């Protein structure tokens, strides 16, 4: 028998002994999910699915604590989608990252990574985040630009201001004036107290910071612009919109000694962590 199978049997025994909090999950085999892989639907334990997502999406999380934070976030997202309904009717999740989550290959992956992943899943057994007593949609991205978050995504997800900018996912480019602006004198950027460009006056029109991001084709809402002779020199940090957990920064936090609880509290201040017995784990 494969080693990881043993781990999952242990998890199944523990998880099935304690029912999940969500009443909408009652009536189905609580810890099993239907996953469509390569067009075929397979039934698997929720934590096996969480481990596969960690392998597929969590490459940035090398440390034990960042992996654990991601395990909890993925578990919560899955339980949220199971409770409120995901994108599919015939099964729960598919294997496409642009639809559900990217899945790693549990049979053919690096053994050390697999062990670390399984430990992260097992050490956070049953822990998930809740919002208004329901599993929370704890979104995450590889590297969300931390500031300049003008998106309105969901009331419970607060834009998070990280204390550093990501130098790994940094984009620098010059955008020539003639491509974007009729008159250079007609561009005014307005920064708020957090030093985020909250809006701009662009060719005489008022636009939001998010629209400016699109106009300049920047990968993140966290950016600085410098008006130079040959064009606008843009520096963008991250690849996201400032919402949810940034795996890149979660890894930095873990390397700086933060625990998975501290990482989750930082990124999801409105969520409450619960264990299967509905006991509050930390707040
Ligand atoms: Zn899908
Ligand atoms: Zn990054």
Mean pLDDT of 198-205: 80
Same domain, 132 and 261: yes
Distance CA 30, CA 25 (A): 6
Residues around the ion ligand 1 (C-beta < 5 A): 94, 99-100
Query: Which has more pLDDT, 275 or 99?
Result: 99
Same domain, 27 and 139: yes
Distance of CA 39 from the midpoint of ligand 1 (Å): 11
Distance of CA 264 from the midpoint of ligand 2 (Å): 17
Q: Give the pLDDT band of residue 280 (cuts 50, 70, 90).
A: low
Same domain, 213 and 85: no
Q: Is the pLDDT of residue 21 over 60?
A: no
In this structure, how many other beta carbons lie within 10 angstroms of the beta carbon of residue 107? 8
Q: Is the pLDDT of residue 57 over 90?
A: yes
Query: Which has more pLDDT, 129 or 158?
Result: 129
Kindly state the helix (H) or strand (E) to which residue 224 belongs, with its residue range.
strand 223-227
Distance of CA 2 from the midpoint of ligand 2 (Å): 35
Same domain, 269 and 190: no
Same domain, 58 and 28: yes
Give percent above pLDDT 70 in the chain. Answer: 77
Distance of CA 37 from the midpoint of ligand 2 (Å): 29
Same domain, 138 and 180: no
Query: Which has more pLDDT, 243 or 260?
Result: 260
Q: Are 118 and 64 in contact (CB under 8 A)?
A: no
Q: Which two tokens stand for residue 222?
A: 């966290």
Distance CA 28, CA 23 (A): 10
Distance of CA 9 from the midpoint of ligand 1 (Å): 26
Distance of CA 44 from the midpoint of ligand 1 (Å): 16
Distance CA 124, CA 62 (A): 16
Q: Which of 21, 14, 15, 16 is nearest to 278 (CA)?
A: 21
Closest ligand by atom to 53 CA: 1
The pLDDT of residue 241: 65
Q: Give the pLDDT band of residue 254 (cuts 50, 70, 90).
A: very high
Distance of CA 133 from the midpoint of ligand 2 (Å): 32
Distance CA 121, CA 12 (A): 12
Same domain, 68 and 194: no
- How many domains would you assign to the chain? 2
Distance CA 135, CA 69 (A): 15
Distance of CA 159 from the midpoint of ligand 1 (Å): 26
Q: Are 169 and 252 in contact (CB under 8 A)?
A: no
Same domain, 91 and 152: no
In this structure, how many other beta carbons lie within 10 angstroms of the beta carbon of residue 110? 11
Query: Which has more pLDDT, 231 or 259?
Result: 259
Q: Which of 109, 134, 121 is nearest to 22 (CA)?
A: 134
Same domain, 127 and 186: no
Distance of CA 100 from the midpoint of ligand 1 (Å): 4
Distance of CA 80 from the midpoint of ligand 2 (Å): 26
Domain residues for the domain of 111 are 3-143+244-282
Query: Looking up tokens 């995450």, which residue turns up?
Result: 140
Closest ligand by atom to 248 CA: 2
Distance of CA 157 from the midpoint of ligand 1 (Å): 22
Distance of CA 201 from the midpoint of ligand 1 (Å): 39
Query: Which has more pLDDT, 63 or 181?
Result: 63
Distance of CA 95 from the midpoint of ligand 2 (Å): 24
Same domain, 178 and 261: no
Helices (H), the chain: 3-17, 46-57, 64-84, 111-123, 177-180, 209-215, 247-255, 260-267
Q: Give the pLDDT band of residue 150 (cuts 50, 70, 90).
A: very low
Same domain, 160 and 113: no
Kindly state the helix (H) or strand (E) to which residue 135 belongs, with its residue range.
strand 134-135
How many CA atoms within 13 Å lie on the side-chain side of 162?
Answer: 27
What confidence tens digit (pLDDT) does each residue in 120-145 have?
999 999 899 999 989 999 989 888 77
Q: Give the pLDDT band of residue 261 (cuts 50, 70, 90).
A: very high
Distance CA 207, CA 221 (A): 14
Same domain, 127 and 20: yes
């Amino acid at each position: 028998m494969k080693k990881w199978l043993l781990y999952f049997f242990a998890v199944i025994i523990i998880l099935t002994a304690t029912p999940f909090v969500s009443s909408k999950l009652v009536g189905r085999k609580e810890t099993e999910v239907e996953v469509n892989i390569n067009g075929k639907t397979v039934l698997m334990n929720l934590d096996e699915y969480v481990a596969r997502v960690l392998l597929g999406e969590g490459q940035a999380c090398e440390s034990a604590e960042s992996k654990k934070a991601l395990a909890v976030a993925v578990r919560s997202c899955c339980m949220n989608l199971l409770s409120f309904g995901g994108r599919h009717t015939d099964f729960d999740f598919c294997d496409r990252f642009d639809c559900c989550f990217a899945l790693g290959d549990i049979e053919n992956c690096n053994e050390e990574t697999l062990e670390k992943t399984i430990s992260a899943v097992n050490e956070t057994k049953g822990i998930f985040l809740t919002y208004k007593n329901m599993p929370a949609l704890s979104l995450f991205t590889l590297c969300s630009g931390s500031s300049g978050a003008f998106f309105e995504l969901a009331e419970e997800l607060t834009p998070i201001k990280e204390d550093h900018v990501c130098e790994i996912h940094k984009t620098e480019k010059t955008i020539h004036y003639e491509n974007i602006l009729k008159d250079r004198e007609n561009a005014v950027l307005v920064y708020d107290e957090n030093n985020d460009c909250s809006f701009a006056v662009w060719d005489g029109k008022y636009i939001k910071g998010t629209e400016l991001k699109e106009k300049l084709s920047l990968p993140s809402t966290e950016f600085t612009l410098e008006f130079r002779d040959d064009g606008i020199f843009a520096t963008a940090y991250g690849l996201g919109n400032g919402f949810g957990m940034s795996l890149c920064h979660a890894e930095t936090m873990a390397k700086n000694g933060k625990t998975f609880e501290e990482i989750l509290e930082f990124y999801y201040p409105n969520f409450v962590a619960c264990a299967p017995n509905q006991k509050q784990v930390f707040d």
